[in-house]
Structure 1
Amino acid sequence: MILYPAIDLKDGQAVRLLRGEMEAATVFNDDPAAQAEAFVAAGCEWLHLVDLNGAFAGAPVNAAPVEEILKRCRVPAQLGGGIRDMATIEMWLSKGLARVILGTVAVEDPDLVREAAKAFPGQVAVGIDARAGRVATKGWAEETDVNATDLARSFEDAGVAAIIYTDIERDGAMQGPNIEATAALARAVSIPVIASGGVSSLADLMALRDCGAPLDGAISGRALYDGALDLREALAALR
């Protein structure tokens, strides 16, 4: 199982939100690329990046820090937030991003996801962010009636590289991941599933790894910044 350190970008800084609330942002680093380099130095194999402003704006906002991370770090990175058309997908992949994460458009324009996954095999992931099993879009600001598992199943034949499943109520709350819901989703589809939201300790990581469902990875942010999870120790344990 791969551990993805998260760098959430707001106004050019590396921050963490509490349950997706932009007003509840804690700044952890003014230099996101330096933060990324620290994660790479600790041994991470991937980076998980989110353009928070972009998620609300519907277009890239924190492009400069993302490009700086791509320039300075030699591990693959995936990015979500504000990627809602083919031109933006092509732009990011051409700049060296390993994988784009499509969230809002997975609900609003699923054909774009299919088109992109076909055009860029292995480089398109679907981000499914849910409250009580229902998908939220546009930076989690808009609730939908779409069931998270139904949405995941709808992309079974699309060739997407992964599904990143976030339980919004657990995100940044340091209360542990929603293992039951994440495992159920992973069992419901053949697409690799990456768990996100609430991973706050080594015990949480081990519980995800040992949950009996074929999870491909887990994302952690605040726990790494707060020191509740030691990246080197976690990576060694997962090996």
Structure 2
Amino acid sequence: MIVFPAIDLKDGQAVRLTKGLMESAKVYSNEPWELAKRFEDMGAKWLHIVDLNGAFAGEPKNIDQIEKIRKNTNLKIQLGGGIRDEETIKRYLDLGINRLILGSIAAREPEKVIELAKKYPIAVGIDAKDGYVAVDGWGKSEGIKATELAEKFKNSDIECIIATDISKDGTLQGLNIDFILEVMKASNKPVIASGGVASEEDIIKVKQNDIYGVIIGKAFYEGKIDLAQILKLQ
């Protein structure tokens, strides 16, 4: 199990949202790279970054902060938010990003993402509300079930799927483990659990169910968990 501390970027700051609503943003740091360094010092190996402005705009919007994080840490970085074409993928790989997360384009053009995954380190982000996929910063529903989308990547070269239950995200109500396991079964791919981590109990459930990884955001920022201790469970 890999623990992925998360940094969500909005207007150059590290924030957390509740249920994906931009107006709910709470700022936790004006220097996101310092947070990343702190995670590294605690023992993190990977970092999960989302360019929130980019997710809504469909193109990179916080690249300066991403560059700072890359230059100031040795963490492996997986990055999502507004990555919709090969040019953007190449740009981020040249910057030293280790894995790109494709969400909206994966929902709309899965075949294109399957082809991209043959050449690049790709993760598919499946964000769902009531079991149905949401795109464009979670602002729109695609009308396809998360499990149906996951199944499309069953025999592909994608590295993993990041599965998020939007209704849980940022709520500190606990992971929707059943949803994560359904995505795992449908895709037969390693899955990273996301959305709603509230306590060490959630992390233990992830480990017990042989889930590949877990993303920790608000639970750390609000002091609900001891991240340094959680990182020792990897």
Distance 1:156 1:92 in 2: 26
- Any runs of at least 4 consecutive aligned residues in structure 1 with deviations exceeding 4 A, and if so which? none
SS class of match (2:117): helix
**Counterpart position of 1:126:** 124
Q: Is the Cα contact below 8 Å between 2:152 and 2:187 reproduced in 1? A: no
Aligned Cα root-mean-square deviation (Å): 0.9
Distance 1:25 1:16 in 2: 6
Offset of residue 226 of structure 1: 1.1
Q: Is the Cα contact below 8 Å between 1:43 and 1:235 reproduced in 2? A: yes
Asked whether 1:66 is paired with 2:66, we answer yes
In structure 2, the gaps of 5 or more residues are none
Distance 2:7 2:204 in 1: 22
**Counterpart position of 1:139:** 137
- If the length of structure 1 is used for normalisation, what is the TM-score? 0.96
SS class of match (1:48): strand
Distance 1:136 1:183 in 2: 19
**Counterpart position of 1:17:** 17
Asked whether 1:42 is paired with 2:38, we answer no
Q: Is the Cα contact below 8 Å between 1:36 and 1:69 reproduced in 2? A: yes
SS class of match (1:169): coil
Offset of residue 115 of structure 1: 2.0
Distance 2:166 2:7 in 1: 17
Offset of residue 55 of structure 1: 0.2
User: Mapping of 1:165-184 within 5 angstroms?
Assistant: 165-184=163-182
Structure 1 residues 161-203: Cα deviation after superposition (integer angstroms, max 9, x where no partner): 0000000000000000101111122123221100000011111
The one-letter amino acid of 1:186's match is: M
User: Mapping of 1:1-239 within 5 angstroms?
Assistant: 1-120=1-120, 123-210=121-208, 212=209, 214-236=210-232, 238-239=233-234
- If the length of structure 2 is used for normalisation, what is the TM-score? 0.98
Distance 2:187 2:109 in 1: 20
- Identical columns (%): 47
Structure 1 residues 134-162: Cα deviation after superposition (integer angstroms, max 9, x where no partner): 00000000012111011011011220000
Distance 1:116 1:65 in 2: 26
SS class of match (2:59): coil
Distance 2:179 2:188 in 1: 16
Distance 2:111 2:84 in 1: 12
In structure 1, the gaps of 5 or more residues are none
Q: Is the Cα contact below 8 Å between 1:86 and 1:112 reproduced in 2? A: no
Q: Is the Cα contact below 8 Å between 2:4 and 2:216 reproduced in 1? A: yes
Q: Is the Cα contact below 8 Å between 1:85 and 1:112 reproduced in 2? A: no
Distance 2:162 2:55 in 1: 15
Distance 2:183 2:207 in 1: 14
